C-alpha cells in the first residue's frame, strides 16, 4: 500500500509537474517531469527534470543557480520527496 506524501506548506512558487508519456529511448520510465522552485522575484533557484540532456550530465538532472548536475532517479515518489526536502533546506537557509 502506498502512503501519501506528507502535506507541506511550499515556499514561494514551487511547481511540480509530471505526466505519463510513451516508453521510449528518450523516456525509458514512461515519465516526463519537471519540479521548479522559484524565489520571490520568480527567479529559478532549483529545478529537477528529465528533459533533453543538452548539458551532457545524464537524463535526470538538477539545475541550481550555478550549475547543472546529474542525479539518480529511484522513482517518482522518492524524487519528489528529495526535491521538497532540498526546497525546505534552501528556504530555511536563505529566506527564513
Q: In tens digits, what is the pLDDT along the chain, a chain of 96 residues?
A: 445 545 556 567 888 999 999 999 989 999 999 999 998 888 999 999 999 877 889 999 999 999 999 999 999 999 999 999 999 999 889 887
Report how far residue 84's alpha carbon sits from residue 66's, in angstroms, rounded to the nearest whole number.
Answer: 19
Task: Please give the pLDDT value at position 16.
Answer: 92
pTM of the model: 0.85
Report how far residue 51's alpha carbon sits from residue 59's, in angstroms, rounded to the nearest whole number.
Answer: 7
Task: Please give the pLDDT value at position 4.
Answer: 52
Domain boundary assignment for the chain? 13-94
Contact (CB, 8 A) for 38 and 95? no
Amino acid at each position: 500500500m502506498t502512503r501519501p506524501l506528507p502535506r507541506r506548506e511550499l515556499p514561494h512558487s514551487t511547481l511540480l509537474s509530471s505526466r505519463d508519456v510513451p516508453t521510449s529511448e528518450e523516456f525509458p520510465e514512461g515519465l516526463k517531469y519537471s519540479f521548479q522552485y522559484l524565489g520571490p522575484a520568480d527567479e529559478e533557484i532549483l529545478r529537477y527534470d528529465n528533459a533533453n540532456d543538452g548539458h551532457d550530465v545524464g537524463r535526470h538532472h538538477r539545475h541550481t543557480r550555478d550549475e547543472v548536475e546529474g542525479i539518480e532517479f529511484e522513482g517518482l515518489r522518492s524524487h519528489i520527496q528529495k526535491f521538497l526536502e532540498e526546497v525546505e533546506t534552501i528556504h530555511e537557509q536563505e529566506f527564513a
